[in-house]
A and B are shown apart, each in its own frame.
Chain A
């Protein structure tokens, strides 16, 4: 009897094996900033995250072969579209992920639609990606400017920071972040006293800080990211911005930026993120694995990297459900009907406009004396539930949303 059962099981396994024998190859391209101002917030760390996602997926799906390739887009739209075209046409890449720098991401959306491939963004910030510029091949994970503005802007105005001056990075992302934050500030009864547009990769902000000081605004909103934010805060401390009663609102800050600033300069900053490595056992375990894959001691994963992992995993699950990578739009459409679960973002759904929906968190940077071990940087101030964290579907002006 027992023998028969074993035989039956064996033959069943063989049969299944036969049905699944067709191997599906998926090639994932991580197109990111490998060496410039966003490289520590995305870059090699995102590549490591995509590799982890591929490993985890292949563990459960033996008939899949997932390969990860990567390239440096140098934050230039022309470089990025060139690489993407070659990837899609010659190298059989099925999906491109990460893509920090909104201007690059927006330019790439055209290519994705033309070649009918999937784009799973984690790096860029502009809320236009799932708003007025949305398309059917793009999913936007992790964060966007509306979500940052809504999380950080609202909390600060409610705490009495009702007059603002913006120092804005002069390109698509900065403009979107400034626009979305100004709207939140005004909707909550605050006032915007002025703004200045600083070119990306500015090393000296003192001139802009002086203008911010003279505006007498209570809050100086930094609508920039990466090295620009670090320089502005570092020089702000020197110019006595905080000492004289004004406060910075870092609208987009990542854990590696806080490490670069040091807690002494960064303490008290409030900002919104969707992932922090030290949130729970799941994120800590993942960070350990990421650390091994990244192989750069002392680095911390940013939310972008976590988003690359989570978004790539979700994409692969949708590919498994569709059965092919051929039709990028079909995979993205499938993603919009599924619910994804992972240890980093919890439960995520994808909306009709391509927006990945998951909770967001308001964090505050710890004081140096509150930090107990290396990488102990944030205190959780509030959790913004998934249904409140992102812009309501009807307000985005996305053409994919009917009615």
Chain B
């Protein structure tokens, strides 16, 4: 076995893999943000709260209806997506013509309210949520023990990410959506219900966040704060990838997971700041982000 900067290569491979898995959470979350920003021009600060609501919904479904992990993976995003639709209809739709700042303030305020209310009812220590039986255990890869659940996380997240990308960039409905962002009046003239499409897009973005929340429930502490801790990093990911760029958000999400994972080996103390250092550098060199179109 050889070593790289004093770290055995086997250990390094393990860390790379772990980084990729964590990156898949970043990718899932930043994808939702990028979709919402790209289509609605809203900087969705409620995203972290929606992620948390997904996990919370999974917990509540298990407690009160006995629905386990797999049904939750479908129902929790639907519930949170519907809530997103309500938010869009009641609040967001009035803000599209205004400066970004209003959308940011509104969604930030909503996030604080949602998290505050959840804290009131559930406290902050967290709620227990067990791994689904079918994904217990793991495999010994020689250089590391890989839990089955993490394999599922990476597969599910990559599938969802790339199908979303495919739908938006490569299908007819995606073409409508992109056209509606560019010139809503013209698209409406073709008989397409643009406001409804926008509403559904926001609902879908919220559902994506909730999906990530359910995925996180068995391995991260389910608590009202889980979203606010993650959302700041995810915003940095979106900024690095380029606001609104869907492929950029996905690739940057995975890549930063890996970078963060490596930092945890070589300089663990900096692992909570490395993403922001990269963000600062990217903003200096390429203000529109790695994959962003130049404004």
Residues of A whose CB lies within 8 Å of any CB of B are 35-41, 43, 170, 196-199, 201-204, 206-208, 210-211, 213-214, 226-227, 230-231, 234-235, 237-240, 244, 256-257, 259-262, 264-265, 296, 299
Q: Which of B22, B147, B268, B272 has the most CB of A within 10 A?
A: B268
A238 — which chain B residues lie within 8 A by C-beta? Answer: 131, 138, 147, 149-150, 218-219
A299 — which chain B residues lie within 8 A by C-beta? Answer: 123
Nearest B-chain residue to A201, judged by Cβ = B229
| B145:A262 contact, CB within 8 angstroms | no
| A214:B220 contact, CB within 8 angstroms | no
Residues of B129-170 whose CB lies within 8 A of A: 130-131, 137-138, 144-145, 147, 149-150
* Assembled-state Cα–Cα distance A374/B158 (Å): 40
| A264:B124 contact, CB within 8 angstroms | no
Shortest Cβ distance from residue A123 to the other chain B in the assembled complex, whole angstroms: 14
| A198:B128 contact, CB within 8 angstroms | no
Residues of B1-32 whose CB lies within 8 A of A: 8, 11, 14-15, 18-19, 21-22
| A207:B124 contact, CB within 8 angstroms | no
* Assembled-state Cα–Cα distance A259/B273 (Å): 31
A196 — which chain B residues lie within 8 A by C-beta? Answer: 264, 268
A-contact 0/1 string along B262-281, CB 8 Å cutoff: 00110011011100000000
B261 — which chain A residues lie within 8 A by C-beta? Answer: 207
A-contact 0/1 string along B220-234, CB 8 Å cutoff: 110101100110000
Shortest Cβ distance from residue A92 to the other chain B in the assembled complex, whole angstroms: 29
| B19:A207 contact, CB within 8 angstroms | yes
A261 — which chain B residues lie within 8 A by C-beta? Answer: 126, 128
B131 — which chain A residues lie within 8 A by C-beta? Answer: 237-238
| A40:B229 contact, CB within 8 angstroms | no
Shortest Cβ distance from residue B142 to the other chain A in the assembled complex, whole angstroms: 12
30 sampled A-B residue pairs with Cβ under 8 A = A35-B116, A36-B225, A38-B124, A39-B124, A40-B123, A201-B272, A204-B22, A206-B150, A207-B15, A207-B268, A208-B268, A210-B14, A213-B145, A214-B8, A227-B124, A227-B126, A230-B125, A231-B221, A235-B219, A238-B147, A239-B147, A240-B138, A244-B145, A256-B123, A256-B125, A260-B221, A260-B223, A261-B126, A265-B128, A296-B123
B200: interface (CB < 8 Å): no
Q: Which of A35, A199, A240 contacts B225 (CB 8 A)?
A: A35
Q: Which of B18, B123, B225 contacts A206 (CB 8 A)?
A: B18
Q: Which of B125, B223, B265 contacts A211 (CB 8 A)?
A: B265
| Contacts beyond the supplied A206-B150, A214-B11: 6 A-B pairs with Cβ under 8 Å | A170-B268, A203-B220, A226-B125, A227-B223, A227-B225, A260-B223
B89 — which chain A residues lie within 8 A by C-beta? Answer: none
A230 — which chain B residues lie within 8 A by C-beta? Answer: 125-126, 221
Q: Which of B138, B219, B265 contacts A234 (CB 8 A)?
A: B219
Known: A197-B268, A235-B219. A39 touches B229 (CB 8 A): no
Residues of B whose CB lies within 8 Å of any CB of A are 8, 11, 14-15, 18-19, 21-22, 116, 119, 123-128, 130-131, 137-138, 144-145, 147, 149-150, 218-221, 223, 225-226, 229-230, 261, 264-265, 268-269, 271-273
Q: Which of A38, A39, A210, A244 contacts B11 (CB 8 A)?
A: A210
Nearest A-chain residue to B147, judged by Cβ = A238
* Assembled-state Cα–Cα distance A202/B137 (Å): 24
| A203:B145 contact, CB within 8 angstroms | no
Main secondary structure of the interface of B (DSSP, over half): mixed
* Assembled-state Cα–Cα distance A230/B27 (Å): 24
Q: 7 nearest interchain CB pairs?
A: A262-B128, A40-B125, A199-B272, A260-B126, A207-B264, A39-B124, A256-B125
A-B contact count (CB 8 A): 126
B137 — which chain A residues lie within 8 A by C-beta? Answer: 240
| B230:A203 contact, CB within 8 angstroms | yes
A211 — which chain B residues lie within 8 A by C-beta? Answer: 11, 264-265
Shortest Cβ distance from residue B221 to the other chain A in the assembled complex, whole angstroms: 5
Known: A260-B127, A262-B130. A234 touches B229 (CB 8 A): no
* Assembled-state Cα–Cα distance A71/B128 (Å): 28
* Assembled-state Cα–Cα distance A260/B131 (Å): 14
A202 — which chain B residues lie within 8 A by C-beta? Answer: 271-272
Shortest Cβ distance from residue B256 to the other chain A in the assembled complex, whole angstroms: 13
Nearest A-chain residue to B19, judged by Cβ = A207
Nearest A-chain residue to B233, judged by Cβ = A203
* Assembled-state Cα–Cα distance A265/B131 (Å): 10
Known: A35-B225, A235-B219. A227 touches B125 (CB 8 A): yes
Shortest Cβ distance from residue B167 to the other chain A in the assembled complex, whole angstroms: 29
A257 — which chain B residues lie within 8 A by C-beta? Answer: 125
A262 — which chain B residues lie within 8 A by C-beta? Answer: 128, 130
Shortest Cβ distance from residue A208 to the other chain B in the assembled complex, whole angstroms: 7
Shortest Cβ distance from residue B150 to the other chain A in the assembled complex, whole angstroms: 8
Known: A211-B265, A238-B147. A231 touches B220 (CB 8 A): yes
Shortest Cβ distance from residue A376 to the other chain B in the assembled complex, whole angstroms: 15
Nearest A-chain residue to B10, judged by Cβ = A214
A37 — which chain B residues lie within 8 A by C-beta? Answer: 124, 225
Q: Which of A37, A39, A204, A259 has the most CB of B within 10 A?
A: A204
B272 — which chain A residues lie within 8 A by C-beta? Answer: 199, 201-202
| A234:B220 contact, CB within 8 angstroms | yes
Nearest A-chain residue to B223, judged by Cβ = A227
Shortest Cβ distance from residue B36 to the other chain A in the assembled complex, whole angstroms: 22
| A260:B271 contact, CB within 8 angstroms | no
Shortest Cβ distance from residue B48 to the other chain A in the assembled complex, whole angstroms: 12
* Assembled-state Cα–Cα distance A196/B270 (Å): 12
* Assembled-state Cα–Cα distance A262/B126 (Å): 10
Known: A36-B225, A199-B271. A210 touches B125 (CB 8 A): no
| A239:B124 contact, CB within 8 angstroms | no
Nearest B-chain residue to A243, judged by Cβ = B137
| B221:A210 contact, CB within 8 angstroms | no
Shortest Cβ distance from residue A274 to the other chain B in the assembled complex, whole angstroms: 19
* Assembled-state Cα–Cα distance A234/B127 (Å): 11
A231 — which chain B residues lie within 8 A by C-beta? Answer: 220-221
B15 — which chain A residues lie within 8 A by C-beta? Answer: 207, 210
A244 — which chain B residues lie within 8 A by C-beta? Answer: 145
